[in-house]
A and B are shown apart, each in its own frame.
Chain A
Amino acid sequence: DAKTTQPNSMESNEEEPVHLPCNHSTISGTDYIHWYRQLPSQGPEYVIHGLTSNVNNRMASLAIAEDRKSSTLILHRATLRDAAVYYCILSGGGADGLTFGKGTHLIIQP
């Protein structure tokens, strides 16, 4: 699976939007972009995934660059509960699970 690059940490204020960036310059045409998050002392939780077009769900939006070499996870209105480690993961659709990096530690200030 291709490698992703994320900032180690980011800080935001409660009730403001948060944009979490991810670079994946070696992405292949069949790689999906996945985002998971992990709250303290819990297992990872699926957030969103997409291939080429921007995606929205109840948790977040995923904006994918036209050349697909980068993407941004958007939390529209952060709450304290959104404080977590966010992982950006590429997967070509194989059966062998996902490859997690170190992710971005998101800190939400009240």
Chain B
Amino acid sequence: NAGVTQTPKFRVLKTGQSMTLLCAQDMNHEYMYWYRQDPGMGLRLIHYSVGEGTTAKGEVPDGYNVSRLKKQNFLLGLESAAPSQTSVYFCASSGGLAGYNEQFFGPGTRLTVL
């Protein structure tokens, strides 16, 4: 089992460019999450999904869009990147509600927006 994988590992964008971060999990989990982590801070939830075809907003959704077309994949899009979106992005998945079940995290994507 690879667990949760994220692509790419690093990316540098210019302001206004767009990109998509891919998260994949091979544990057949229903729930998937995107978080961002700024230096010295804890993780903040961007968007989440409770199953294929569903998405919902988290704490800091502005400037991001997501899609869950396949159960195993959760995509995070930045339509017009801004320097404030420079951060490390983590994807996670869980087999049930986050409050009751273990979340499995990916290794992260380090994004710099110039």
A residues whose Cβ falls under 8 Å from a Cβ of B: 31-32, 36, 41-46, 49, 87, 91-103
Separation in Å of the A103 CB from the closest CB of chain B?
6
Q: Nearest 8 A-B pairs (CB), nearest first?
A: A100-B42, A43-B105, A93-B99, A91-B99, A97-B45, A100-B43, A46-B102, A97-B33
Verify A98–B98 contact, CB threshold 8 A: yes
Residues in B whose Cβ lies below 8 Å from that of A46 = 102-104
- Bin the interface of chain B by size: 20 to 34
Complex contact A96–B106 (CB within 8 A): no
CB distance from B24 to the nearest CB of A (A): 14
Closest chain A residue to B91 by CB distance? A43
Q: How far is the CA of A45 from the CA of B108 in the complex (A)?
A: 12
CB-CB under 8 A for A91 and B98, given A42-B108, A97-B35: yes
Give min CB distance, B39 to chain A, whole Å: 11
- On chain A, the residues within 8 Å of B42 by CB distance are 87, 99-103
Which residues on A sit within 8 Å (CB–CB) of B40?
102
Which residues of chain B in 62-114 are interfacial with respect to chain A, using CB atoms and an 8 Å cutoff?
90, 92, 97-100, 102-108
Q: How far does the alpha carbon of A103 sit from the alpha carbon of B105 in the complex, in Å?
A: 17
The reply to whether the CB of B50 lies closer than 8 angstroms to some CB of chain A is: yes
